[in-house]
Amino acid sequence: MTQLPAAFRHELEAAFEIPRLSVSARQKSTDGTEKFLFRLHDGEHIETVAIPEGSRLTLCISSQAGCALQCSFCATGAMGFSRNLALYEIAGQVREVALLTGSIPTNIVFMGMGEPLMNWKAVDPTLTVLNDPKGFGIGARHITVSTVGVLPGIVALGERKEQFRLAISIHAPSDALRRTLMPINTKYPLAQVIEAARVFDRRVTFEYVMLHGVNDLEEHAHQLADLAKRCKAFVNLIPLHPGGAGNFVPTTPQSIAAFARKIRSRGVEVAIRKSRGKDIAAACGQLRVERQRRRMPVGAEKDSDIQVA
- Contacts with ligand SAH, 186-215, as mask; x by CB under 6 A: ---------------------x-x------
Residue 146 touches ligand SAH, criterion: CB under 6 A: yes
Residue 111 touches ligand SAH, criterion: CB under 6 A: yes
Q: Which of 71, 130, 143, 237 binds ligand SAH (CB under 6 A)?
A: 71
| 70 vs 110: CA distance, rounded Å | 17
Whichever of 148 and 228 has its CB closer to ligand SAH, that residue is: 148
Catalytic residue among 34, 47, 115, 207: 47
Catalytic residue among 67, 71, 74, 284: 284
Q: Which one of 39-47, 233-241, 257-265, 301-309 is the stretch in contact with ligand SAH (CB under 6 A)?
A: 233-241
| 262 vs 258: CA distance, rounded Å | 6
Q: Considering the complex, what minimum distance in angstroms separates the CB of residue 75 from ligand SAH?
A: 6
Residue with the CB atom nearest ligand SAH in the bound state: 244
Whether 17 is catalytic: no
Whichever of 65 and 284 has its CB closer to ligand SAH, that residue is: 284
Residue 73 touches ligand SAH, criterion: CB under 6 A: yes
Residue 48 touches ligand SAH, criterion: CB under 6 A: no
Compute CA distances 285 → 34, 93, 266, whole Å: 14, 15, 34
CA proximity to 83, closest of 134, 133, 121, 30: 121
Whether 13 is catalytic: no
**How many chain residues touch ligand SAH (CB under 6 A)?**
17
Whichever of 21 and 210 has its CB closer to ligand SAH, that residue is: 210
Residue 283 touches ligand SAH, criterion: CB under 6 A: yes
| 14 vs 16: CA distance, rounded Å | 6
Q: Which one of 20-28, 81-89, 143-151, 251-259 is the stretch in contact with ligand SAH (CB under 6 A)?
A: 143-151
Q: Which of 40, 122, 240, 280 binds ligand SAH (CB under 6 A)?
A: 240
Residues that bind ligand SAH (CB under 6 A): 71, 73-74, 111, 115, 146-148, 169, 207, 209, 238, 240-241, 244, 283-284
**Which residues form the catalytic set?**
47, 284
